[in-house]
Structure 1
Amino acid sequence: MSSLLDLIKAAGADAVNASNPVNILFGEILTVNPLSVKVDQRFTLPADFLIVPESLTRHVVDLKHTHQYTDDGSTNNTSEALTQKIVIRPGLAPGDRVLMLRVQGGQRYVILDKVVTA
């Protein structure tokens, strides 16, 4: 009889989980390489459980260049311009607060975005 009760409980729990397929969580980046996130000060997730969108990855552009020009018949080069790389997106850093979604089943977590204070 208890096995039937366990089956009914499991079916009920599955029905509840099916009606609530996503949970919203807050986390804090602990480390970046390898990535780890402490979730709601309760547990830590390693990189294997995390899905990071491209918008939260570091993106740097190198625009260093020179130009060739002709002046009075001789060919010259300008000095190098934009010698410093430009950071388009800084990516995640330790201490960043993030908004996360737990995918149904709880085995994967999507980091949606950084959380900032106004």
Structure 2
Amino acid sequence: MLEAIKRAAMDAVDAAGPVVVQLGSVTKINPLRVLVDSRLELTEDFLIVSETLTEMKVTIGNQEIVIRKPLAKGDKLLLIRMQGGQRYVIMDRVVSG
């Protein structure tokens, strides 16, 4: 009986689409498109971009300095698929792995 309850609980969690960490890469910038696991291309409607991946510039004197560069085509990304699987949060760029 206990095993049946455990199995039912696990099936319910799987059906809800728990949070999953995935890798992806930017295929297009405007509009933003990201390829996840070499098979699923997401449009910007399904993506949430963290502030750390948006461009930030400052001007010091007559010189403009880029503090944070924006996403670029070919960037490798760390994504979190939100529960239910409908939206993905782009957490950061991946520099190795």
TM-score, normalising length: structure 2: 0.81
Residues matched between the structures, number = 90
The 1:59–1:16 alpha-carbon spacing in structure 2 relative to 1, beyond 3 Å, is same
Say which of 38, 56, 60 aligns to 1:59.
Answer: 56
| CA-to-aligned-CA distance 1:61-118 (integer Å, 9 cap, x gap) | 1223xxxxxxxxxxxxxxxxxx221000002110000010100111100011100028
Pairing 1:83-102 to 2, within 5 Å after superposition: 83-102=62-81
Letter in 1 for 2:95: V
2:17 matches 1:38: no
Aligned-CA RMSD value: 2.3
Letter in 2 for 1:38: L
Q: Following TM superposition, by how much is the alpha carbon of 1:24 offset from its aligned partner in structure 2, in angstroms? A: 1.0
Unaligned 5+ segments in structure 2 are: 1-7
The 1:44–1:20 alpha-carbon spacing in structure 2 relative to 1, beyond 3 Å, is closer
The 1:20–1:106 alpha-carbon spacing in structure 2 relative to 1, beyond 3 Å, is closer
- Flag as ranges the 4+ runs of structure 1 deviating above 3 A: 11-14
**Larger radius of gyration between Structure 1 and Structure 2:** 1
The 1:28–1:63 alpha-carbon spacing in structure 2 relative to 1, beyond 3 Å, is same
Q: Indicate the percent of aligned positions where both proteins have the same amino acid.
A: 52
Unaligned 5+ segments in structure 1 are: 1-10, 65-82
2:13 matches 1:16: yes
